[in-house]
């Protein structure tokens, strides 16, 4: 800033004053800040004052100043969400009103439901079921025509809504496979014999010399209450169909023996509450039309 106080000398060569500092006879010109810079600074100060008046600004003991415009990030987001919902509501209302079967029968609704379902699937389901719904060990492949809890629209809808073995939801699918080995219900040899037989149900080869007749008997005694005598499973208790090439935990004899050893069942979260009903419907239609739907 200008420094007249200390009596800067006038410098005739430049027509400016000096700061008054002098080092070994060399003095310094007093060059003020460029005007444009100063005016920008003043402009910012004015802007800040206007901002304080219009927008929430100063915290004070009874709460922050509210600002004349009444602007508030929480009101804004609430309004934006309302607008978003309103922009989708025409289609969403139709989804909510239509039955799952009607949605699939109406091309316009079907296209919308599949698009919305695909987006919701990527965000919520793909970490478990895979980006292409192909599944992985312990997480079922949803493209396949092999269902633990049933592949009709209504069955899929129930599974997504209430999950499987999701204890926080009282209506969740329940029922686990007993731990035959760990709880001593079957010994190692019996488990091996049954596993050989189970492999034949899906057309896989048993170990050489396997006693399939004994395996079948053990299967009927121990496993058929859930998996059925033919091994085709039971969607009421989530017992897997053992006669297909699609496996939740794997087709090898070791995989099957391990399953008989430990039993149990996979856990799928309930989505009611986290996702709204029209999104769940869209997901149902999306999953149903992946290829395996019944």
Which residues are annotated as part of the binding site for heme c? 125, 128-129, 177, 223, 226-227, 268
By a kind-dependent CB cut-off of 5 to 8 A, residue 247 interacts, out of other proteins, ligand HEC, none, with ligand HEC
| Joined tokens for residue 49 | 């004052």
By a kind-dependent CB cut-off of 5 to 8 A, residue 95 interacts, out of ligand HEC, other proteins, none, with none
Strands 16-23 and 26-29: antiparallel
Binding mask 114-143 for other proteins (x = CB under 8 A): ---------xx-xxx--x----x-xx----
7 or 273, CB closer to ligand HEC? Answer: 273
Taking the C-alpha atoms of residue 191 and residue 218, their distance in angstroms, rounded to an integer, is 9
Positions at the binding site: 125, 128-129, 177, 223, 226-227, 268
By a kind-dependent CB cut-off of 5 to 8 A, residue 156 interacts, out of ligand HEC, other proteins, none, with ligand HEC
- Tell me which of 185, 211, 266, 272 binds other proteins, using CB under 8 A: 266
By a kind-dependent CB cut-off of 5 to 8 A, residue 240 interacts, out of ligand HEC, other proteins, none, with ligand HEC
- Tell me which of 268, 270, 285, 290 binds ligand HEC, using CB under 6 A: 268
Q: Does 164 bind ligand HEC (CB under 6 A)?
A: yes
Contact 57, 64 (CB under 8 A): yes
For residue 16, give the 3-state DSSP assignment.
Answer: strand
Residues found near other proteins in the complex (CB under 8 A): 1-10, 12, 15-17, 58-61, 63-64, 72-78, 80-81, 84, 123-124, 126-128, 131, 136, 138-139, 166-168, 266-269, 273-274
The residues binding ligand HEC (CB under 6 A) are 124-125, 127-129, 138-140, 142, 147-149, 156, 159-160, 164, 175-178, 180, 194, 198, 222-223, 225-227, 237-240, 242, 247-249, 256, 259-260, 265-269, 271, 283, 287
């Amino acid at each position: 800033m200008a420094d007249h106080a200390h009596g800067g000398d006038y410098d005739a060569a430049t027509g400016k004053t000096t700061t008054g500092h002098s080092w070994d006879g060399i003095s310094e010109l007093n060059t003020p800040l460029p005007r444009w810079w100063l005016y920008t600074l003043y402009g910012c100060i004015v802007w800040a004052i206007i901002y304080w008046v219009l927008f929430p600004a100063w915290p004070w003991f009874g709460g922050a100043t509210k600002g004349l415009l009444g602007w508030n990030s929480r009101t804004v987001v609430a309004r934006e969400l309302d607008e978003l919902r309103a922009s989708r509501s025409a289609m969403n209302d139709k989804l909510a009103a239509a039955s799952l079967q009607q949605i699939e029968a109406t091309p316009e609704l079907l296209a919308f439901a599949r698009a919305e379902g695909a987006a919701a699937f990527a965000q919520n389901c793909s970490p478990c079921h895979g980006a292409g719904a192909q599944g992985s060990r312990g997480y079922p492949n949803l493209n396949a025509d092999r269902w633990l809890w049933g592949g009709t629209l209504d069955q899929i809808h129930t599974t997504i809504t209430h999950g499987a073995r999701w204890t926080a939801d009282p209506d969740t699918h329940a029922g686990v496979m007993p731990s035959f080995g760990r709880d001593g219900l079957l010994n190692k040899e019996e488990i091996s014999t049954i596993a050989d037989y189970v492999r034949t149900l899906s057309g896989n080869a048993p170990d050489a010399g396997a006693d399939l007749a004994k395996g079948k008997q053990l299967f009927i005694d121990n496993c058929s209450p859930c998996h059925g005598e033919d091994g085709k499973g039971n969607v009421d208790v989530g017992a897997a169909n053992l006669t297909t090439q699609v496996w939740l935990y794997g087709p090898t004899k070791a995989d099957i023996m391990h399953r008989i050893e430990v039993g149990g069942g996979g856990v799928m979260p309930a989505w009611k509450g986290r996702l709204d009903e029209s999104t769940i419907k869209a997901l149902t239609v999306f999953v149903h039309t992946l290829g395996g739907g019944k």
